Structure 1
């Protein structure tokens, strides 16, 4: 049985945030989505255990702190390292991919150019994590 997820989207691009909201609405999913425009804001958000998301969707290319820097901090912190984190990026750079998996990322998804393909990928990711057993606090 699938459950509604609390998703934290870490994304600095307003168009990408709107695209994610539109996709959730189109798919008629009742997941709760929180947004952080960069890694620093996301880390502040994660200080409160009651705000812990079930899943983090993380862009790599952001100002102030890159997605890889955020992921590195996340995976070193015993309080939040358990949160599944999926990279959602335009970067098909093999070094980025390898570094993310070395740090313990749960998945690496390339943002497709076509909106229909984007919807399919997001639906697949959210469907998987909504049936996966997740640690609760």
Structure 2
């Protein structure tokens, strides 16, 4: 089965994490396009600029300016953007964060594992899942 190639908006302020995701996608042999945003403010500018919308958003919670939960609330209030599946990719094991994210309406919550092999498996599963999902086209 051929997987659909996704446009992934990665909202992450740590450049090492950005490189890790890109390296993982390449290593896994996926053809997904990664668009970067350094924080929620930057992401909102990209999303409202009228360019092509991503198929999925991978969102870190702990960021400067607008944190992940604040970003989610703004995203879900927008009639056009609210339908983009948003998956949290974070180190936060805080149950309050987890509940707040699901309350706002996320598509998933993934903890970044310490071992790269475990990270690779989680990214592979996540992207394969969304590659076979019926997504709302722009």
On whether the aligned pair clears a TM of 0.5, the verdict is yes
> Structure 2 stretches of 5 or more lacking a match?
none
1:1-137 equivalent positions in 2, closer than 5 A: 1-137=2-138
1:20-39 CA-partner distances (Å, limit 9, x unpaired): 01101100110011000000
Q: Distance in 1 between matches of 2:60 and 2:112?
A: 10
Figure out how many residues of one structure are paired with residues of the other and give that number. 137
1:86-136 CA-partner distances (Å, limit 9, x unpaired): 000000000000000000000000000000000000000000000000000
SS in 1 for 2:42: helix
What TM-score do the two structures reach when normalised by structure 2?
A: 0.97
The answer to whether the 8 Å contact 1:60/1:87 transfers is yes
Q: State the Cα distance separating 1:49 from its structure 2 match.
A: 4.0
Moved beyond 4 Å, runs of 4+ = none
Could you say what the CA RMSD is over the residues aligned between the two structures, in angstroms?
A: 0.8
What TM-score do the two structures reach when normalised by structure 1?
A: 0.98
> Structure 1 stretches of 5 or more lacking a match?
none
